[in-house]
A = this chain, B = another copy of it.
């Protein structure tokens, strides 16, 4: 796992960490069932505090992306393909509206917008198929 943390970045370390792991899962670099390093281990690897890592893991657990297995530590969950959770999709739509609004202001057309969205999704999927 290649997790890189930018200490100078404004976004909190634990969120960068969370995002890195999410990216890893999305690109299948992290397979379902795979174990994540222990909080202590990862903390020392990244020269970051234990609690910071713990917070990232807790957030991922809350999102249902990982589970904390006794003794095995944190493991990647298998996504529930069956349920395209409408609640989640609606929340996602709202979040995307922010970017969409900004894009419209910048003169981005509907076609360009969908193209960008598609690129974002496929950029991850490509790595996935490798």
Contacts and interface: CB of A to CB of B under 8 A. Distances in A.
A45 interface: no
A23 B121 CA distance: 24
- Protomer copies: 4
A71 B108 contact: no
Interface string A66-93: 0111111001000111111100110011
Contacts of A46: none
A121 B98 contact: no
Grouping DSSP codes into helix (H, G, I), strand (E, B) and loop, the A interface class, with mixed when no group exceeds half, is: helix
Interface residues of A, number: 61
A26 interface: yes
Contacts of A93: 116, 119-120, 123
Interface of A: 7-8, 10, 13, 19, 22-23, 25-27, 63-65, 67-72, 75, 79-85, 88-89, 92-110, 112-114, 116-125
